[in-house]
Amino acid sequence: MILPGLTSDEAKNLILSVGTHHGRRPLSPMEVATLFQKAIKKGASKKLCAQFVHLNGPSMVSRFLKLLELSSLVQLSTDWGQKGSTISFSSAQQLSNLSKDEQEMACREIMTNQLTRVEVEQIVQLKQRSGRTIAECLNDIIRMRPTITKVHVILGAITNTDVQERLSKYRQIERDNLFQGVISEMYPSGRTLSGRLGISQFSIVTDEQGFNIISPKQGPSFEHVITQVLANKLIVDHD
């Protein structure tokens, strides 16, 4: 049985990505959510979706679908675990209780300060109970840490529609591998550069040394250069 609306490859990747603890799942949480939504629009129930991927019940499917309501930055940054330029699926779910502006601010701080799932939960609970601003709640939790180590988060846009169209045909893991090669090639002296590539935007997370390398080049020209390098690589891959 294949869920309605899905191709055999989509169905296979969905099964390999949900209900497993393998480090290299073929789909990101957002891609899983998109396929569940696609199947539901073609008539599948949440219960059927859960059965298809061997989940205990439809509640977990609902948790995936909740990701589709998040801000674009949170969607881009969400992965199964937290590592450099990503936040964990669990942290993203916590952020769904905030407004989109609050989600954006919290997501940046999660990556900048490498906040844990427990810390994110504390921040959201503090915000809900106290009625204070998300910035105040973030600062309170971060100040409780014995030591504070920050990294830099750099965001950019992909405005070339041809590049966007080509990127839309790639899975998240393929886009990320492509982008890692791009930023390693562009900034070979940056030792700790990690990136996340969406269809219309990207993020780079790095330490102080990497930030000093990239920072002077930021701005429209910075985004243009990255878009052009991506375009060249996509043409080669396509050919």
pLDDT in tens, 144-168: 988 777 899 999 999 899 999 999 9
Summarised one tens digit per residue, pLDDT across range 124-146 is 999 999 999 999 999 999 999 88
One domain for residues 63 and 78: no
Q: Are residues 63 and 80 in the same domain?
A: no
Q: Which tokens go with 228? A: 């052009």
Residue 222 has pLDDT above 70, yes or no: yes
Q: What is the DSSP pairing of strand 87-88 with strand 78-79?
A: parallel
Tens-place pLDDT, residues 179-213:
999 998 888 876 788 999 999 999 999 988 888 88
Determine the Cα–Cα distance for residues 5 and 43; give it in Å rounded to an integer: 9
> Within its chain, how far is the Cα of 157 from the centroid?
15
The whole-angstrom separation of Cα 56 and Cα 26 is: 22
Rounded to 5 degrees, φ, ψ at 45 are -90, 165
In this structure, which amino acid lies at residue 215? S
- Which residues 6+ apart lie within 8 Å of 196 measured at CB? 76, 77, 85, 86, 176, 179, 202, 203
Round the average pLDDT of the chain to a whole number and report it. 91
44/109 same-domain check: no
Q: Which of 143, 169, 195 is the last residue of a domain?
A: 143
Tally of domains within the chain: 3
**Domain holding 53: CATH number?**
1.10.10
CA distance 232 to 234: 6
Tell whether the torsion through CA atoms of 73, 119, 65 and 20 is positive or negative: positive
Q: Which residues are bridge partners to 121 per DSSP?
A: none
pLDDT surpasses 90 at 28: yes
Is residue 217 pLDDT above 70, yes or no?
Answer: no
Give the number of other Cβ atoms within 10 Å of residue 41's Cβ: 10
* Cross-strand pairs, 201: 157
56 within domain boundaries: yes
Question: Is residue 237 one of the residues assigned to a domain?
Answer: no
Q: Give the structural domain span for 171.
A: 152-230
Tokens representing residue 93 in the block: 């779910």
Surface-to-core class of residue 207, CB atoms within 10 Å of its CB (0-12 exposed, 13-18 middle, 19+ buried) = middle
- Cα angle 154, 160, 162 (rounded to 5 degrees) comes to 130
Whether residue 37 sits in one domain with residue 76 = no
Judged by average pLDDT, the poorest of 5-19, 30-44, 96-110, 219-233 is 219-233
Given a cut of 70, is residue 170 above it in pLDDT? yes
Range with the poorest average pLDDT among 7-11, 110-114, 169-173, 187-191: 187-191
> Using CA atoms, how far apart are residues 137 and 5, in angstroms rounded to an integer?
43
Question: CA-CA distances (angstroms) from residue 201 to 36, 208, 224, 226?
Answer: 23, 22, 12, 11
Residue 134 lies in a domain: yes
* CA gap 71, 220 in Å, rounded: 23
Mean pLDDT, rounded, for 100-116: 95
